[in-house]
Amino acid sequence: MIGNDGKRQVALITGTSMGLGLALGRFLAARGFDLIVTGRDRARLADAAGQMLGLGGGVTAVSGDVADEDQRRRLAEAVAGYGRLDLLVNNASTLGPLPMQAMADYALAGLRQVFEVNTIAPLALIQALRPYLAAAEGLVINLSSDAAVGGYEGWGGYGASKAALDLLSLTLANELREEGISVVSVDPGDMRTAMHQDAFPGEDISDRPLPEVTLPFWAWLLGQEPAQISGQRLQAQAELWQVAA
């Protein structure tokens, strides 16, 4: 995808080796983005990067855990190599300890790790990449969940981390607006992914749609003026993508 300056746009997607991250990476590659992708499994990430590379622009794969400060430094170095960042998608997430635990019994060490991956890491990446996002008047997409507002039994740790991410997104949208950085949170809806299966061990989740069901939403989102949607919480599978205030 070519920016207003005539140069190819660059996107960084976390958690890109499978599921929604892979689907979104393939979608952006086909639209001509240069991509920086990351995931914890080196072999799986390499396979995913190969799929994206065959669809469009360049792909830089940086394997590792986004909760690791050194990994975030490597990602920032990859962005510096391109010299710009138009789109940051904080997709990497963890459910936390499995089987999923009630909040009254939740292991606090596990809860800290959930927040490290789902809330702290996205904020840390935004902070580290802020100059590149500002220069490109870029868009940050933080992946949320209906668990952030549902209060579902067993989902409290994950849901709390996503609720915090929603508030973080709105606050950053307000704080960074003058710098030209836009921030939204997106609830992608239930999907047939490995993580969703982990949440329902032994259950048949074949009735859930594949992540590609969200592609019309992403096409719409990238067609919006980022500043006009900044601060919104969006729903990729809802009848109305924009949530009424």
Domain membership flag for residue 121: yes
What number of other Cβ atoms are within 10 A of residue 80's Cβ? 13
Question: Catalytic annotation on 82?
Answer: no
Return the higher-pLDDT residue of 242 and 47. 47
- Only one residue has tokens 């709390």, namely 160
Query: Which residue out of 82, 106, 161, 162 is catalytically annotated?
Result: 162
Domain membership flag for residue 5: no
* Mean pLDDT, the chain, integer: 94
Strand order in the sheet with 139-143: 59-61, 34-38, 10-14, 87-90, 139-143, 182-187, 233-235
3-state secondary structure of 148: helix
Query: Which residue out of 17, 63, 93, 145 is catalytically annotated?
Result: 145
Question: Catalytic annotation on 158?
Answer: yes
Q: Please report, for the domain that includes residue 167, its CATH number.
A: 3.40.50.720
Return the higher-pLDDT residue of 186 and 238. 186
Residue range of the domain that includes 92:
10-235
Domain membership flag for residue 155: yes
Q: What is the pLDDT of residues 102-126, one digit of tens each?
A: 999 999 999 999 999 999 999 999 9
Domain membership flag for residue 44: yes
Domain membership flag for residue 113: yes
Question: Catalytic annotation on 7?
Answer: no
Domain membership flag for residue 244: no
Domain membership flag for residue 65: yes
Q: Does the pLDDT of residue 7 top 80, yes or no?
A: no
Q: Does the pLDDT of residue 213 top 60, yes or no?
A: yes
Question: Catalytic annotation on 144?
Answer: yes
Query: Which residue out of 144, 161, 182, 185 is catalytically annotated?
Result: 144
Model confidence, pTM: 0.95
CA distances from 30 to 6, 27, 137, 209 (A): 18, 5, 22, 21
Query: Which residue out of 82, 106, 132, 158 is catalytically annotated?
Result: 158
Return the higher-pLDDT residue of 142 and 4. 142
Domains in the chain, number: 1
* pLDDT, position 156: 96
Two tokens, residue 158: 């994950």
Q: Does the pLDDT of residue 2 top 60, yes or no?
A: no
Q: What is the pLDDT of residues 131-162, one digit of tens each?
A: 999 999 999 999 999 999 999 999 999 999 99
Q: Does the pLDDT of residue 40 top 70, yes or no?
A: yes
How far is C-alpha 229 from the geometric centre of its chain's CA atoms? 17
Min mean pLDDT across 18-32, 91-105, 160-174, 197-211 is at 197-211
Domain membership flag for residue 174: yes
